Amino acid sequence: MSEHSRQTIRLDKWLWHARFFKSRSLAAGVVTAGKVRVDGTPVSKPSRSVGEGDVLTFVQADATKVVRILACGERRGPAPEAQKLYEDMSPPVERRPYNPGGDRKGRPTKKQRRDIMTHRGLDRSIDLE
């Protein structure tokens, strides 16, 4: 190959090589659904050729991923090898502060339960008739 020719690879295959999707068919499904953009243009064909310098935008696990392709890759290798295929340009994700108890207030007291029953219009006494 000459210096100016660009090495390309199928979009679904690259997404699988870079370990964004567990299988190539999952990657192809996302591309077919039109959920991937290459350089800002929506793509719906998994066979679309991509190469070094292209910017991909897609949603994965409720987060928008923006990545620049650095290399095409020869195989689907281990994670450290896959991370060398792209540069992550995604916006930082806001993390919620850790709150193990949540917003729980606890069980209502007996007085609070009586007030709830009265508020709902249920009488505390039981009619036996």
Here the CATH number for the domain that contains residue 27 is 3.10.290.10
Q: Is the pLDDT of residue 1 over 60?
A: no
Q: What is the reported pLDDT for 96?
A: 76
Q: What is the reported pLDDT for 9?
A: 96
pLDDT category of residue 126 using cuts at 50, 70 and 90: low
**120 is a domain residue:** no
Q: Which domain holds residue 35?
A: 8-88
**72 is a domain residue:** yes
User: Number of structural domains, the chain?
Assistant: 1
**105 is a domain residue:** no
**79 is a domain residue:** yes
**55 is a domain residue:** yes
**CB of 28 closer than 8 Å to CB of 34:** no
The widest CA-to-CA distance across the chain, in whole angstroms, is 97
Tell me the pLDDT tens digit for each residue of 4-38: 678 999 999 999 999 999 999 999 999 999 999 99
- B/e letters for 66-102, b = 16+ CB within 10 Å, e = fewer, are ebebeebbeeeeeeeebeebbeeeeeeeeeeeeeeee
Q: What is the reported pLDDT for 124?
A: 59
Q: What is the reported pLDDT for 6?
A: 83
**106 is a domain residue:** no
**125 is a domain residue:** no
**20 is a domain residue:** yes
Tell me the pLDDT tens digit for each residue of 48-101: 999 999 999 999 888 899 999 999 989 999 999 999 999 999 988 887 787 776
